[in-house]
Structure 1
Amino acid sequence: MFGLAFKEIFSVTIILFSVIDIVGSIPIIIDLKKKEGKIESMKATFIAGIIMIAFLFLGTYILKLFGLDVESFAIAGSLILFFLGIEMILGITLFKDDPSNSSGSIVPLAFPLIAGAGTMTTIISLKAEYDQANILVGIILNLLFVYLVLKSSDWIARKLGTGGANILRKVFGIILLAIAIKLFKANI
């Protein structure tokens, strides 16, 4: 049926889960919630899903349309992740809030945290090894998990407490910096 294979779906789901790393993004989500007042879980998940699915079918064409290669796209995404990590570690604000534009669910949550350069590059790479239908199912399974984590961010924040959230934010800020540097080095 449409080339669906459980083993491929499982592999794709695990690979994307590792790259998206929504669990590792919990401190960022909590921080965004503090800044924005709320996170629109459904909107962020939906936008990330559109980006990921569009990239599955049109990714290489979109990049070629703008005269970009995957490496340049990955480097741009790594710079955004780098600055987010700096914000988390130093407790400063580099991404200024625009009160007239409540896009906290889109930038930087849906893009680049959930559907960022790493995710999009991975999706393009997966196309070389796995059937598109299996990749699509893997994307949808990851989006369901992303939605659950976003929806339960209040509960997670309460369980962590202020001190726990601050410690987690600093630790994951360093991890985010390391991921950004790795992504930058791999694509330079």
Structure 2
Amino acid sequence: MIEVFVTLFVIMDPVGTVPIFLALTSGRSALTARRAAWQAVTVSFVVIAVFGFFGQQILGYLHISLPALQAAGGLLLLLVALQLLTGQEEEMTANANTNVALVPLGTPLLAGPGAIVATMVFARQVDAFGDFSAVGLGVIGVHVTLWLAMRFSLPILRLLRESGVLLVTRISGLLLSAIAVQMVADAVRAFIEAG
């Protein structure tokens, strides 16, 4: 359980998610932001669970390699990062009907290719109910941590005020773009090694 929790904690990075969550939910009510935190974690958990149980079959049926999934997730995150960097995040956050909890928070940020692949690897190693319980508790534990990090980050938003939120948004965009580029680079490297 601890190995699963630590691995997913490092990959999903609850602390690093906070500035991106704050940037994407700025300008929304506290209730809406809390709902977004809950929805993002729920979406992430469902995606991770589905891929843990059926990931190999889904990717095999669609003829999608893990590097292709990783590159697609990286490109999607790069688009979000560019919006945060150029001040166009209002397009994502201004419309009340836009649910940032689903995309990009729930997936591919939380339930990204790294977390999906790690979960699929742990799921392959399950031989007994004890192994299954350990993997399940590790996945649940990291999602509880993610929710706590986002849920209790909201007071920070009130302290930052508008100029602080703008700074956090730009820094988040920069960090997110670096994560996205790294995901694409890793995917390209995996394609080259496989070919």
Q: Pick the TM interval, shorter chain.
A: 0.7 to 0.9
Which residue identity lines up with residue 184 of structure 1 in the other structure? V
| 1:47-126 equivalences in 2 (<5 Å) | 47-93=43-89, 96=92, 99=95, 101-126=97-122
Q: CA deviation at 1:75?
A: 0.6
Aligned to 2:140: 140
2:170 & 2:121 partners in 1: Cα distance? 31
**1:134–1:181 CA distance, 2 compared to 1 (3 A):** same
TM-score w.r.t. the length of structure 1 is: 0.82
**1:125–1:178 CA distance, 2 compared to 1 (3 A):** farther
Q: CA deviation at 1:73?
A: 0.7
Aligned to 1:45: 41
Q: CA deviation at 1:126?
A: 3.4
Aligned to 2:193: none
Aligned to 2:149: 149
Identity of aligned residues (%): 24
TM-score w.r.t. the length of structure 2 is: 0.79
Of residues 30-39 and 44-53 in structure 1, the stretch that sits farther from structure 2 once superposed is: 30-39
What secondary structure is seen at the aligned counterpart in 2 of 1:24? Answer: helix
Aligned to 2:7: 15
Give CA deviations for 1:11-57 in whole Å, capped at 9, x if unaligned. Answer: 22111111112221222212221365523232222221111111111
RMSD: 2.5
Aligned to 1:4: none
Which residue identity lines up with residue 26 of structure 2 in the other structure? K
Q: CA deviation at 1:157?
A: 1.1
1:154 & 1:83 partners in 2: Cα distance? 25
Which residue identity lines up with residue 123 of structure 1 in the other structure? T
**1:102–1:95 CA distance, 2 compared to 1 (3 A):** closer
Q: Is residue 77–residue 180 contact of structure 2 (8 Å, CA) maintained in 1?
A: yes
Which residue identity lines up with residue 89 of structure 1 in the other structure? L
Q: Which runs of 5+ in 2 are unaligned?
A: 189-195
Q: CA deviation at 1:136?
A: 1.6
1:124 & 1:146 partners in 2: Cα distance? 20
What secondary structure is seen at the aligned counterpart in 2 of 1:108? Answer: helix
Matched, 1:31 2:23: yes
Of residues 71-80 and 148-157 in structure 1, the stretch that sits farther from structure 2 once superposed is: 148-157
Q: Is residue 36–residue 104 contact of structure 1 (8 Å, CA) maintained in 2?
A: no
The number of aligned residues is 180
